[in-house]
Structure 1
Amino acid sequence: RQYAAQIMFNALEADTVQWSSDVNGYEKVKTTGLEWKPNPNNKNDGSWVNVEKNETLGKKWMKLDTVENVLLSSVKQESGKSTFNLNNGAYTKVEDDCSALLGQRVNILLKDNDKSKVYGVYANDDSKVVATGYAGQLELDGSEKVKMDGTSYKLDSADNKKGNLILTANTNTYKTGFDTIVKAVGEKGNMDKNAAASSIKLIDNDGDGKVDTALHTPAKVGKVTAVSKSSVTVNNGINTVKFDDAEIYDGIAKDDYVMFVAEANRSSEDKDSITKLDVTSAKVTGTRTGEAKVNDEWVKLAKDVKVESGNSYDMVIVGGVLLFADETKSVSKDILYISGTKEFDGYAGEKYGTKEVRAYFADGSNKTIKVSKLAGDKIAKAGNVGTDYADEAGVKAGQMYTYSKLSDETYDIEALSTKNDAGYDKIVTGKSDAYSKQKIDGLAPQDDAVIFVQTGKETKVLTGKQIKNWADSITNNFTAAYGTKESNGIDYVAVAALVNNASENVPGATKDTLYGYLTADAYVSDKDGEDKATYEVWTTNGAKTLYADTKTVEKNATAGAVISYTVNGDYIESIKVNAGIQKGFAAVAVTGFDYKAEGELAFVSETLGAKQYTLDEDCVFLTVDDENTAGVEGNSLDQIQLANAGSKSTSDKETVLTNAYVVIGGDNNDKVLAVIIDTTNNELDAAKELYKKDGSVVK
């Protein structure tokens, strides 16, 4: 059927022929308009002459005409039919949606040359779409070519600034020159978001392999700021759009990123369009002028988009242009804090030298380093005369610096300041009495902010989340320096140094504490050339090997024990082993649970009796196989099971077997901070049988 239909269609386009009475004399039609004409004497010595072409079979027998021209617009009517425009006027009552052919040279099959009786529309054999993409991908390539997404295409016109048609979708209008599009988009780093996101189709309409036409569909992009029952509001010039007036995707929500195409540039009748844009969550791994590297690809930056290498963002990338970027995680890269310094170290007879300092880094590590340069200048001992060096007195304890490591393993540092802001929005230094109730100078820290805290006895690198877990009662008079980042109109502390040498210890919070289940007896092993106490544990992040900055192993740290600890750089400290309720641990039989975050947990315990506690908001869950002292994948509250019944239950005295460890704490010692539960047998290896009523041991 397919081939039969093709044969019949081809026949409609075929030219008619006229036979003569002479077997050798006939009219032969050529596509050039030249025909063979016999001489009057019917001798076979005729010649090629210019004559009017014969009619096609479709024209002669079915009154069908074929019109050829460029399709400028196609609009779907309420009746379901379409109206489209060519250079020679409008054609109506078209059954097919012709919008896919916009900008192309088309053939229209109609009857009696009546523009309301269109039987078919199809692309001319010479018309081909060469490339499709977005205006942000379009570049001029010399005077005779353009590039689309890095690929070059020759142009019909030798001048890409004129001669080639740029059609605006569905407007029956056009201009000339690809430079008009490129100029509207702008340079990388300052690209117009709307212009860059507009779509482009490159077309060769005459079959010579060169682009002569482009179809340009204008668009706008923005972020949804509000959704009501009747409309949505979008920023970046899109404003309020009613559901009744537009085709809008299901589930549109506040903070979605969207693309808007106006009714005037669409084929659907009386409808704007709003479509959802994809969001890429990734880290920026490099930056250069006007560009950023995302997922190993360089993308151009739109106007007002600022990103930093090392930070993570939710990004909208259209046609290789980064249109929007919401920071999700920032890193205080190349930032260190100096907690203490030694005397300047130099050789007699030499002007320059080094200064040894104790440096703490954003990743939590710390080590002794030697500083040889300050803001690019070599340091010299204080008191030297001259301007070609930096005074070593500028290397001070209690300050944050940006840094780079030099080839000789020494460091070049520069104080974090308003002149050296390291990419932060604002830098504040020397702020006294800056900390109060989880805020620094009145500003909340980001959860992943890097906070250097120094007291008279110790220095720690904490996160913003840990600072926000400090008790309201902490009133240490900290002096602060900090850098801020803005998000959604709110300034947050992204990096800070809090210093109070009059205080002995860095404030702590129970929520700084981590928990682990020992899968082997603790032991001493070599780490970086030194003997260190070593703990193999199952944690919320899987199996880990942890080291303490001592060669003394904690008592009772054997396989199957639960430990709590805090982290300081590469080491753990404040280690406690589950050796009784006085340290917050208890072996329990779980008798009730509502399976909710911050929900209620009921249990019986030999040390606590029958109790019901509320889960802490950051309660930790560890799932284990206690018989084999191994971790089990899961680590979530839905893995908690009610204890098995004991073997000595009676009708009036129900017994249960211990199946978990719990850690009790909180400001009022009334919260469950951690639950470590056996999910393999639902019994601890040395399970005790307890009376469910009061938790006493069954004898």
Structure 2
Amino acid sequence: MLAFACAFTMFASAAFTDQADIKVDSDVVDTLVSLGVVNGYDDGSFKPNGTVTRAEMAKMIYVLRTGNSDASAYNDDKTSFTDIGTHWARGYIKYCQSLGIIAGKSNTKFVPNDKVTAQEAAKMLLVTLGYDANKAGLVGINWTSRTNALADENGLLEDVNTSFTGPCPRQYAAQLIYNAIDAPTVVWRDDAYTTNNYGNGDNPTIGEKYMGLHSVEGILTYFQKEDGKSTYNATVENITKKDGTTLFGKDIIAEQNFTKIAKDYFSMKNQKVKVLYKESDKVYGIFALTDSNTVISGLLGDFGEDGGKLKYDGKKYSLANPNTVYVNNSDVKAADVATYADAAKGITKAYNATAISNNDSAKISRLDVAAFAVAQVTYVGKDYINVSYKANNGTQGNPTFKTKLEADDVTYPSDIKKDDYVAVTADVNTADGNVGVTKLDLVTGKITTTKKSPSEDGYKITIDGTTYEKAGDPNGKVKDLTLNSTVSIVVKGDYFVFVDDTNAEAKDIGMMTEIYKEGNRFVATVIKADGSSQKMTLKKTDGYYENGTSTTPKEFDSAVKNGTKAPVLVSYSKSGDDYKVKVLSDKEKAGYDVFDTQTANTVDNKRFTKTSSGKVVSAIDDNATVFVRYKTDSYKVVTGKDLKNWKDTVKFDSTVLADASNSVNYAKVVMADLKDDSMAGGSDVNYGYVYTVESGSNTDEDEYKVIYAWNGSETVELWSDDMSQKISTGNVVEYSIDGNVETVNGAKTEVTIDNIYGKDNNAWTKAAVLGGDYGTDKKGTAYVYATTADVVDKNVDTTAIKLDKDDDAIILFVDTSDDGKNDTGLALSDNMDLSSFAQDTGDGYKVNAVFFKTTDKNGETGKNIIVIDTTGELDNSITK
């Protein structure tokens, strides 16, 4: 039997307005509509539950038999029916009557508009298959039971889920005919009907006999999209049956190639299939032969070995001899399928795996494994994405994937967004021949149970009732996935492949302002992340920790003017009515990467001005939770975005928890202690990145240099009468606007070019911009590493470049490979994250920028001109 998969899918899908109401597989209706056997309605609907008339069924049978929808040639044939004289279907009815396919309600009455039953439709199809109605017992008082038996025997009733004696819905009439297309025709031989020919092969099917179809049966070894097209190529090998005839020995066909296949059958790769076609470039369908195949799909870690057999989901499967393991379609020379699967460790446990038996024996002969790398999306462009690899790039069966994944070569979800975690897999694992990108799930919650030790490969944690098993530890954070921790993990199936955050909820962190005793119990007052104040009775045992160690609390009160005690950052968790509080420090960072404290800190250019050697924290995350103490005993919680806008004259003691991203530490939780102080609360210079330069003339035919440049918000056309200046693509011009110049195309902007950057004494310095922020106010900080190379190592020491409009500084965001006058860059927006433009190669970062920087005679910042490539990779031509 054929798996119910597809047929005649070289035709386009019908896409009816009531598609959701169609219960049969969409291929059934789409196929028959494409063949003209059934039709939709003018309003775009199919009306799947509408019933079929006897006349409509006659037309369907006619098209099935002839491949033609015009039966007008039979309109004037003689008939015994007196009620079809001018009926639209009279030609179809007369044709079918002449072949004995249909009968009337009486000798003279066909009753064309009566509803046909599924039983009557099945009888018509049985006659189409070759049964003689009289000889096969399809007439007389027992015709119904005989019809039922033969229809079932010939596979016509598969997936026909409707009353056999009531009016037949349109969708199930289509299902009956669909089943008949691949049913072998029958002949009378040796006093019985048979579907076998004299060579003991199958008789031709209805599709083969009446529609001119051919078929082959073999192993689908190749299936992939044709270059630049929406259709596919396929190769079928070891063909053991052709047009119903079984092939043996030297007659077995080694392979046959097919092209222009409209539907994706990649999921059937390496299975035994039947291909229906007219020509090698006119494939109508590919079916999986379920009697010949055993296919088990899951994740590699879910397979195992038991007594020399492959085990999956409690069932054991014998192995063929030989049997082979393929990772990314390459033979890994494994001892056997079961042993290989049983030995899976780390991230390989989460690889997709398919065990296949394709030789009619049900013994597993092949295990196909698809490796993948874990990455996080850092930027989404118009036709590409940038990703940062977190695990497994270039190892354990993977090629080394690029960090810039372009739509021409990579297929990724249309709804993908920045910070999504994804699995990246090789092109051999996809139907379209592109590198494949699929989303991975991010699970956040409290760990309620654990099993084994975090250092063991089989370590398991349970979150929200689901248990996840460790599949690697690429960032060394699994040790922090402890009982009762609230964490975020990246999962694939029931495996976690990356730890995103070991302290996923900032609300578990607060600012403790005092500890005092009530009776014999210690009570702490904590300002929570939502700004509320909570009195927390500490547990009698292990209720208070300092420097990572349980100890007895010491009473203090920070709300004392000119006092010596300051509030502290703490993490807390509730146990019954009591709390456990941990004072945060270098030894207790609540899962963050960096803990830092500073006195008399300030914010300038959206960054902290004071940091500690070896654990620099100057960058501030917009979404950081910032606890503020002011006016001695007043408290407030603001965001990192708010903190960035504080005046640089406001001094405060800071306690910071930070996480690293692209070698830059970003403050995620901050305590800003203003102590007794109150709560904190350009120029005419223009710049443009030059895309291209042309010559033009005004209405007096004076020659001008015409510069097309990106000014940070739009592409502008600038006219300069100084023809001596050499300006080219990749320069940045500093200009002032003089007025308008009249041209034959209207008034244009006349400018004076004051400076040119990117040439001579103002030459560019190549760099990798790895982090920082910038925005519409043109103030911020860029973390830059200058280099002459094209890639910089990870963990480099970046330099912070301050950007302030008053200092004649600017960042322009463009694609440096653009050189047309209609090209546009990326407009400035609030709080732009510069790490979005860093392209991680796995071993380092691509050079993505150029800059020009000066200082004045006092050593203060002068000019700061930076060009960042929005694709994450600089076009080196602009530095030449």
Give TM-score, length-normalised by structure 1: 0.48
Larger radius of gyration: 1
> Counting helix residues as a fraction of each chain, which structure ranks higher?
2
Kindly indicate which of the two structures has a greater share of residues assigned to strand. 1
TM-score with structure 2 setting the length:
0.40
